[in-house]
Structure 1
């Protein structure tokens, strides 16, 4: 139980709200509530991994070995201010700004984890094309029933920490609003190199969704008190997540990078909680077998994996049960009994509506498209009593508002990379 502060607001609830608001005043409030001292980061950065997305080795794990991801998140969408190809001076400024974050905080969940990624629109400024080893198309709608806006900022910075004061302070430093960060001088900021065009925030972790059910799209008092996500079930099971090796680009100038898809999804969970019973929710999230046999306890904290090997094939379930589960459909796109995308998504109250920022990493965007097509279950809907959205996993409770595709380059190329470093060169 989190102790309330002097005004009766639990600390975690307050910090989540402060992260959503952002700015210097929110940071000041967080500093007064989060009394923990965060150590400084290393002075020598040479040992940091080339993979920006290599977070798992520094994350804590649950009793089943599943990584526990950082609780507080900020996505910053940026546009490069320069015309044409970036200058070496801007690359150097960006390098100093990002290295200031790394000197200020340890690279773990109690410090700061972050990635910088770039859109296909960013790479259009170069004469050279991306190498064939990078699968990075422009974003598009991925189902007949969705009509998302397509995001094309030049870059996205993803900030993550267990402490709201860390992500807020890092954001303020990147914007040029802080001269020191955790006692470390900030050498440079991104202000002047980029325009900050959008800001998205959220959270993931035991109890946070239930504490923030006073927004549209989710009925108050229905989300389980210990749920990590609004839909009430655990999701980061080992077989449901690709390894960081699987999602890393294996060759070419961007080897050790990855691709990233970011969707902004609104959740509409009144039926999920107030009309569907637990049997139906378990059937739609996992599979009918799990519901019939009480496989899932509580939010699923008893599960080491999602145990999809117990479920019928999805086509058989669609015919015989008229329901096919979300996880059940994902089995068809596994390789070697593992998923092909690595999710780092989180819930949100942006716009005062329950939502999900779906962040996925994969070797190429094609892997995400394949996974999404399996989630759509179009063939199942056409050949059974399962509708295109009703009783077809969790589709009917989600609406995709925005989509964007990005390349997360290796750390050596994270500052305004050229489209093809082998031919254009870089000082990064």
Structure 2
């Protein structure tokens, strides 16, 4: 970053800094606005939840009680730096690093949220092939590359400076954060891949000059995501209790699925009408009854998938030639409740409009069940709805990568054994 960035609006500047990463980007952020005044975390780590994925109580909420995701996010994919299996001394070193992060910044969207998960490839180092399933293609029309890195750290904060500083500290570029001495992970882990993004009102509109979005700059200013509508309604999300592993060696943890999805929104904005977008994102009934205003804030804490949508999916496919994304996804509920908790965010990685779909669930099978419902393959075989066309929002996205991870409880998060 250079003097030419001085005239760049703050939101655009901070997003660009996170995407670039590294010490130069962090220095530019600090030069631009300094480090935010954020309280330190607790000196006693026992005051923090045992669940790494317990983020909800630390997030802001909107007027309807929906959790509001942190604006800046980084997925840091790592490989174990050693040969064979980790040692106890490496586990202690890694835990020391994570605890130093927790002491540096309070656990909050206004501070720092993070979790670390481990892949089937990591557990394969121990000869354990049954800890969690390997990633795979989840639709007949996709051919994703499969992530086989050993681990992934998910950082999130409303402050770009904090996610950048945390990443730098974990790899030896900083030895102090917010007045706290920190240690890094570089002796145990090597960086393999880095993915970045953002979510929140105004951010997608400010970053729509990328491949996959028309030159007309159609993304609404009030939208938190590229497709123009909000997501993460409280009643459309599984609870943290529902996604927590209830028994076994990793009880108190969860599983995480991470997808990289490329968006193709030219037809979405240039050819589809507003009613068609509402029908494909939610349900044809929502479009007919004009239920959705703007990005959908008027819906409150639910996408309003009642029986008129859920019970009539096949009828809508046959008679209206279109079904909605939320309408299909609702079929994967158990006891009338969703089974996955979404923590996804938009991205401009590679100069392309994208979505990093991060979901946590008790079992990877829960995610696969939800994805199967989203595919609508049975609808395509029994109506004029195509396998992708008019079948929710499938035609507007391409899944490029998939990865599965186990997110252990905090006490087991540092280079865990398969049977701790």
TM-score bracket, shorter-length normalisation: over 0.9
Q: Between 23-32 and 308-317, report the one with greater CA deviation.
A: 308-317
1:375 match = 374
1:40 match = 40
Q: 2:204 aligns with which of 209, 213, 218?
A: 209
Q: Please list, as runs of the form range in 1=range in 2, the aligned pairs for 1:180-329 lying within 5 A after superposition.
A: 180-186=176-182, 188-220=183-215, 221-304=217-300, 305-309=302-306, 310-311=308-309, 313-329=312-328
Q: Please list, as runs of the form range in 1=range in 2, the aligned pairs for 1:121-200 lying within 5 A after superposition.
A: 121-128=121-128, 130=130, 136-186=132-182, 188-200=183-195
**Deviation digits for residues 203-225 of structure 1, max 9, x if unmatched?**
00000000000110012420001
Shift of 1:369: 0.5
Secondary structure (helix, strand or coil) at the match of 2:241 reads helix
Shift of 1:337: 2.2
Taking structure 1 as reference, are residues 6 and 85 closer, same or farther at Cα in structure 2, changes over 3 Å only? closer
Secondary structure (helix, strand or coil) at the match of 1:402 reads strand
Structure 1: runs of 5+ lacking an equivalent: 422-428
CA distance in 2, matches of 1:127, 1:28: 43
CA distance in 2, matches of 1:346, 1:89: 35
Taking structure 1 as reference, are residues 6 and 389 closer, same or farther at Cα in structure 2, changes over 3 Å only? closer
1:57 match = 57
Shift of 1:92: 0.8
Are the equivalent residues in 2 in contact too, given 1:121–1:153 (CA < 8 A)? yes
Shift of 1:344: 0.3
Shift of 1:315: 0.8
CA distance in 2, matches of 1:97, 1:160: 17
CA distance in 1, matches of 2:223, 2:7: 22
**Deviation digits for residues 377-402 of structure 1, max 9, x if unmatched?**
00000000100000000000000000
**Deviation digits for residues 218-273 of structure 1, max 9, x if unmatched?**
12420001110000101111221100000000011201100000000000001000
Shift of 1:6: 8.9
Are the equivalent residues in 2 in contact too, given 1:120–1:138 (CA < 8 A)? yes
Are the equivalent residues in 1 in contact too, given 2:5–2:13 (CA < 8 A)? no
2:397 match = 398
Shift of 1:336: 2.4
Moved over 6 A (4+): none
Are the equivalent residues in 2 in contact too, given 1:284–1:391 (CA < 8 A)? yes
2:106 match = 106
Secondary structure (helix, strand or coil) at the match of 2:204 reads helix
Are the equivalent residues in 2 in contact too, given 1:94–1:193 (CA < 8 A)? yes
Shift of 1:127: 4.0
**Deviation digits for residues 305-337 of structure 1, max 9, x if unmatched?**
100104252111111211000000011111222
Query: How many residue pairs are counted as aligned between the two chains?
Result: 412
Are the equivalent residues in 1 in contact too, given 2:120–2:129 (CA < 8 A)? no
Normalised to the residue count of structure 2, the TM-score between the two structures is: 0.96
Shift of 1:30: 1.4
**Deviation digits for residues 292-312 of structure 1, max 9, x if unmatched?**
111000000111210010425
Structure 2: runs of 5+ lacking an equivalent: none
Normalised to the residue count of structure 1, the TM-score between the two structures is: 0.94
Taking structure 1 as reference, are residues 145 and 128 closer, same or farther at Cα in structure 2, changes over 3 Å only? closer
CA distance in 2, matches of 1:37, 1:107: 14
Are the equivalent residues in 2 in contact too, given 1:20–1:350 (CA < 8 A)? yes
Are the equivalent residues in 2 in contact too, given 1:239–1:337 (CA < 8 A)? no
Shift of 1:420: 1.0
Are the equivalent residues in 2 in contact too, given 1:314–1:328 (CA < 8 A)? yes
CA distance in 1, matches of 2:95, 2:191: 17
Are the equivalent residues in 1 in contact too, given 2:80–2:189 (CA < 8 A)? yes
Shift of 1:128: 4.9
Q: Between 35-44 and 368-377, report the one with greater CA deviation.
A: 35-44
Secondary structure (helix, strand or coil) at the match of 1:33 reads helix
1:425 match = none
Are the equivalent residues in 2 in contact too, given 1:34–1:165 (CA < 8 A)? no
Shift of 1:84: 1.7
Shift of 1:8: 2.9
Q: Cα RMSD between the aligned structures?
A: 1.3
**Deviation digits for residues 52-85 of structure 1, max 9, x if unmatched?**
0000011111111110010100111100012222
